[in-house]
Amino acid sequence: MNFFVDNLPYILAGISVGGQYALIAIGYTMVYGILRLINFAHGDMFMMAGLVMVYLAADLPMQIAIPVVIVFTVVLGCMIEKVAYKPLRSAPRMSIMISAIGVSYLLQNAALYLTGGLAKTYPAIPWLAKTVEIFGAHTKMVTIVTPILTLVLVIGLVLLIKFTKIGMAMRAVSRDFETSQLMGIDINRVITVTFIIGSFLAAVGSVLYFTNYTAVLPTSGSMPGLKAFVAAVFGGIGSIPGAVIGAFIIGICENIIKGLGWTTFSNAFTFVLLIIILMVKPTGLFGEKNIDKV
Amino acid sequence: MTKRNILRVSDVTMQFGGVVAVNNLNLEVNKGEIIGLIGPNGAGKTTAFNVITGVYAPTNGAVSIDGQVVIENYPQGKMKALYKGQNAGKYADRRVLTPDKITKMGVARTFQNIRLFKGMSVMENVLVAMHTNLEAGVFSAAFRRNRKEEEKMHDEAMQLLRMFDLEKNKDDMSTSLPYGKQRHLEIARALATKPKLLLLDEPAAGMNPQESDELMHLVAKIRDDFDLSVLMIEHHMQVVMGICERIYVLDYGALIAEGNPQEIQNNPRVIEAYLGVDE
Amino acid sequence: MNKEISISKKQKTILSLFTCLVFLALVYVGDMLTPPTSSWGMLFTVLEKGSIYALVAVSMNLLNGFTGLFSLGQAGFMLIGGYTYAIFSIPAASRDSVYQYFDGGLIKFSIPEIFSNALGGVLGELGYSLGEFIGMFVPMIMAGLITAGLAFLIGIPVLRLKSDYLAIATLGFAEILRAFFQWKALGPITNGSNILRSFSTYSSPLFPIIISGLCIGFIVLLINSSYGRAFKAIRDDEIAAEAMGVNLFKHKQWSFVISSFFAGIGGALLAMFSSSITTTPFTSNLTYEILLIVVIGGIGSVTGSILGSFLFVACSEWWLRGLDSGAFLGLSFGFMRPGFRKVVFAVVIMIIVLFYSKGIMGTREFSWEGFLTFLKNLPGRLINFFKAFPKRLADFFRTLPAKIAGLPARMKNSLKKLKTNTKHGKEAR
């Protein structure tokens, strides 16, 4: 009990950041499920969303700036897919991964150019940045909002995938790309929808994340991005509930480690976890095993 | 008159989840024999090859090469409850060698869907197969301290290529060869590992009657020249009946007949399995 | 029309040796003659850094291009190499100031210093410099060996993973290493997150060029040996390679360890080049840059990686500098402010990745025959080009009206083609 009380601020922060990772992780896990591609640019898109918010909020009221940021991110995500991934659909997998790395490099350098390498301060969204008190610990409103919003969005997404026609198409494509194509599913539409959903969630995640960690740097996307990817692997890549659970576990553990005074290793922990999982259960918590055909 | 046993597959069952792909297979190949393994599509022939060469660990059963047990397994863990095969209590050891170790013990194979090394020349494809018998270490090979060995490898590779009429193509990319020659290269590559037993997975697939006739003679010649045994999966009955001394017939993973070509041709169960089609 | 030139093996060796010697002599003389303030001094910076990057890029190509292992741990391995070298080469006298937050550190000696003292040298004498020079090789080789040893340990779990998982796991290990080196508890050795400096470095650009050249030479020999063929077999088809008796794990491990050894040496050279080292530059971005160099040069071509490195370094350090300072090829715009160079650069890289995915060299390598044939045919080609030029020009203008008239229809057609292509495009998995 003592442990719990002592670490309450960290656990709260962990749940909050876990929710934010979850929103990014869904983008990874869905794209991987369908294209078998680690979208290295996803984290940088998340950073771009933060950066654009900084610039927009200077001139526009919040109620307008937030939707514009979300639309911008969705458009950016779809554009990246159209320009950098679509032409390589029949190329070897390594080429698409390299293309993703190239996009990530481009976005980071573009951000570096725009900001001049300086940290930009994220605008305070009045309602989210309000300080509240729970169980005697002071925290921002966003800490409470994040897990709730995450769960609502995830449930919505799961319902979408389970019960709509496009959701069914997505499941089919992630199971067998070529066969579903032969069955008349419009692959490109499915992929576009996947990227729209992924980018939308990343944009929402960025609003929540940067309300907590107010500095936006060109490199701020890569670490959360990698962690979210680890979360997706942890939960079993391709599985949405898996990604969410993985993200919460990583967020909480990482913050408890910070609480213990091992801040240097809070990032390293994620990767230790990744390597342990890949060694013990490479398919993650909810992943499916597939056998190579000879 | 008993000949030396080269391969013995005993009670091998291969089960993927609830699907039994190979069911209690027993077969043997003796020295110098050419044995056929036939059966309708999906009968489990290639799976049997994959078990013999160590790609899959069998769920139950054992495989021995030249009298030595190299693979043995019994249902364990989750499989214990799921296991549908026979002889569950017969084996108690778990020993699974990786494919490269099996190859080193003298079993080489070709693939049903040709698997040549695409980015390498014809010559290099053969040389890679000789790598397994290389004696030099990484550094002595890199610094060319093994020049003699390397020269010998090249000579032997040339001989093999000549035998398969590929010496003119030696510097061509392997994938630029016509289909029939690719199949030949696969056999040459397998022979380069110096096997005692050669497993051919549908070597005549996609060939016309004349080409498969040539292949038949080639396989017989290989057996004599290299002093080895052959186990082959084949659908061309003309080829199988022409050169195989004994034939095993698989259907739904289980052995339904075994015998010389005459016996197999007249076996009612085999005819039934092939829906009465007698090629 | 193209006449092939063939020369004997002996001639080739002589030609190569001669070219190398002339090149080295030119660099040596050029370095002597160029005043440090001259803008040509940049050329030598490019040569030094380019050769270091070339070594690292070739070592990465050994993994990605020749063994088919998509590893992204290069920055981490360079970090270990650089730190190992730096830690063992800081003179005892400087240690108190370098390790000022850690009481002068744990290690109180410098290997180059031990050698220069053994040669009886007093600072400034020949024996001292000679000793330092010889002594520099010891920590450098240690850098390689320690990196390789660590790679061996990392390889045991990681090399069993499939392509993209391997990429993420190696990236993760590089990140862990970075955190580890910044750890305060290791401060007495690594100086925590503070800078390490004043260690022995080289004085002539020939040093990194020769070391990188020798290392790359070894990698080329390895690639052309029987083991190199086994690596390529694994790249092309793991299952077939295993069926032909290639022990997958053993060979992957060799490739990984050797690649890391040279990444470690490259890290040590990079530390010498910048004469200081912190963990900051060794992020995943450095790995990405090296990967992109490999792609620009051609995955699976050593020559390509070398060319790519020099091009990359020359562009980012020298030729495209003008884009940042606002004056490039006589052009000047308001948007040319610091960072613009890198954006242009990234766009160019994306174009290469998307449209010229084979890179400069594809999987081809430099050969004297090819080079000489090219040179021999060059005048003829140029003459032919200029001879045909007036006719071509005339043709161009003659057909221009028709072409313009046909443009809308053609665009429509190609759009249609694109659509059907993407519809029937196959996914390669």
Tokens 């929808």 correspond to what residue? A193
Both C144 and C88 in one domain: the answer is yes
Which residues between 260 and 299 in chain C have a beta carbon less than 8 angstroms from any beta carbon of chain A? 283-285, 288-289, 291-292, 295, 299
**Is the model's pLDDT at A85 over the cut of 90?**
yes
For residue A257 the two structure tokens come to 């480690």
Cβ pair B16:A291 closer than 8 A: yes
| Residue C245 DSSP code | T
* Mean predicted confidence (pLDDT) in B126-150: 91
B15–A contact, CB cutoff 8 A: no
Tell me which chain B residues have a C-beta less than 8 angstroms from the C-beta of A294.
46, 50, 55, 111
Distance CA B47, CA B56 (A): 8
Bridge-based pairing state of the strands B60-65 and B5-16: antiparallel
CA distance C67 to chain B (A): 12
Cβ pair C428:A275 closer than 8 A: no
Full DSSP string of C392-424: HHHHHHHHHHHHHHHHHHHHHHHHHHHHHHHHH
Which residues between 126 and 155 in chain B have a beta carbon less than 8 angstroms from any beta carbon of chain A? none
Q: Which CATH number is A2-280 given?
A: 1.10.3470
Cβ pair C164:A116 closer than 8 A: no
Domain boundary at C251, C280, C309, which?
C280
Cβ pair A294:B46 closer than 8 A: yes
Tens digit of each residue's pLDDT (9 = 90 or more) over A187-239: 899 999 999 999 999 999 999 999 888 889 888 888 888 899 989 988 888 88
Both C75 and C199 in one domain: the answer is yes
Residue C345 located in a structural domain? no
For residue B274 the two structure tokens come to 């092939």
Both C9 and C106 in one domain: the answer is no
CA distance B47 to chain A (A): 9
* Cα dihedral A27/A31/A34/A38 (nearest 10): -140
Residue C5 located in a structural domain? yes
Spatial CA neighbour of C307 closest among C315, C296, C321? C296
Residue C309 located in a structural domain? no
Tens digit of each residue's pLDDT (9 = 90 or more) over B212-251: 888 889 999 999 999 999 999 998 888 888 899 999 999 9
Helix axes A222-235, A240-259, angle to 10 degrees: 120
Both C6 and C55 in one domain: the answer is no
Both C43 and C9 in one domain: the answer is no
Tell me which chain A residues have a C-beta less than 8 angstroms from the C-beta of C289.
105
Residue type, B220: A
Number of domain units in chain C = 2
pLDDT of residue B131: 94
**Which of A24-33, A282-291, C96-105, C163-172 reaches the highest mean pLDDT?**
A24-33
Distance CA C223, CA C244 (A): 19
For residue A25 the two structure tokens come to 């992780």
pLDDT of residue C425: 42
> Who among C168, C284, C340 is closest to A222 (CB)?
C284
Domain boundary at C227, C257, C280, which?
C280
Both C160 and C260 in one domain: the answer is yes
List the single residue in C with minimal CA-CA distance to B133: C245
The domain containing residue C249 runs over which residues?
34-280
> What is the residue-level pLDDT of chain C in tens, covering all 429 positions?
445 667 788 888 888 888 888 888 888 888 888 776 777 778 888 999 999 999 999 999 999 999 999 999 999 999 999 999 999 999 888 888 888 888 888 888 888 888 888 877 677 777 888 888 888 999 999 999 999 999 999 999 889 887 788 888 898 889 888 888 988 888 888 888 889 988 888 888 899 999 999 999 999 999 999 999 999 999 999 999 999 999 999 999 999 999 999 999 999 999 999 999 999 899 888 999 999 999 999 999 999 999 999 999 998 888 877 777 766 766 777 677 778 888 888 898 899 888 887 888 888 888 888 888 888 888 888 888 888 888 888 888 888 888 788 777 777 776 666 555 544 444 333
Helix (H, G, I), strand (E, B) or coil at C196: strand
This prediction has a pTM of 0.88
Cβ pair A105:C70 closer than 8 A: no
Both C147 and C213 in one domain: the answer is yes
Which residues between 94 and 113 in chain B have a beta carbon less than 8 angstroms from any beta carbon of chain A? 111
Residue C323 located in a structural domain? no
Distance CA A247, CA A226 (A): 11
Residue C89 located in a structural domain? yes
Q: What is the 3-state secondary structure (H, E, C) of chain B?
A: CCCCEEEEEEEEEEEECCEEEEEEEEEEEECCCEEEEECCCCCCHHHHHHHHCCCCCCCEEEEEECCEEEEEECCCCCHHHHCCCCCCCCCCCCEECCHHHHHHCCEEECCCCCCCCCCCEHHHHHHHHHHHHCCCCHHHHHCCCCHHHHHHHHHHHHHHHHHCCCHHHCCCEHHHCCHHHHHHHHHHHHHCCCCCEEEEECCCCCCCHHHHHHHHHHHHHHHHHHCCEEEEECCCHHHHHHHCCEEEEEECCEEEEEECHHHHHCCHHHHHHCCCCCC
CA distance B166 to chain C (A): 19
Both C128 and C249 in one domain: the answer is yes
List the single residue in C with minimal CA-CA distance to B113: C240
Residue C232 located in a structural domain? yes
| Residue C331 DSSP code | B
Both C208 and C70 in one domain: the answer is yes
Considering only the C-alpha atoms of chain C, give the largest distance between any 2 of them, rounded to a whole number of Å: 85
For residue A215 the two structure tokens come to 């500095």
Q: In Å, what is the CA distance from A96 to each residue of A102, B182, C172?
A: 10, 30, 20
Distance CA A265, CA A245 (A): 22
Could you tell me the sign of the dihedral formed by the alpha carbons of B191, B217, B197, B200, in that order? positive
pLDDT of residue C35: 74
List the single residue in C with minimal CA-CA distance to B190: C244
B1-106+195-279: CATH topology is Rossmann fold (3.40.50)
List the single residue in C with minimal CA-CA distance to B153: C226
Residues of chain C in Cβ contact (below 8 Å) with chain B: 218, 221-222, 225-227, 229-230, 232-233, 235-237, 239-248, 254, 258, 300, 363
Domain boundary at C280, C307, C336, which?
C280
Spatial CA neighbour of C427 closest among B113, A104, A38, A34? A34
Residues of chain A in Cβ contact (below 8 Å) with chain B: 291, 294
Helix (H, G, I), strand (E, B) or coil at C358: coil
Bridge-based pairing state of the strands A131-134 and B19-30: unpaired
Q: Where are the domains of chain B?
A: 1-106+195-279, 117-194
Both C10 and C93 in one domain: the answer is no
Residue C388 located in a structural domain? yes
Tell me which chain B residues have a C-beta less than 8 angstroms from the C-beta of C245.
100, 103-104, 129, 131-133, 193
CA distance A288 to chain B (A): 13
For residue C201 the two structure tokens come to 């470095």
pLDDT of residue A21: 94
Mention every residue, 6+ apart, whose C-beta is less than 8 A from residue C272: C85, C199, C200, C201, C202, C207, C208
pLDDT of residue C424: 46
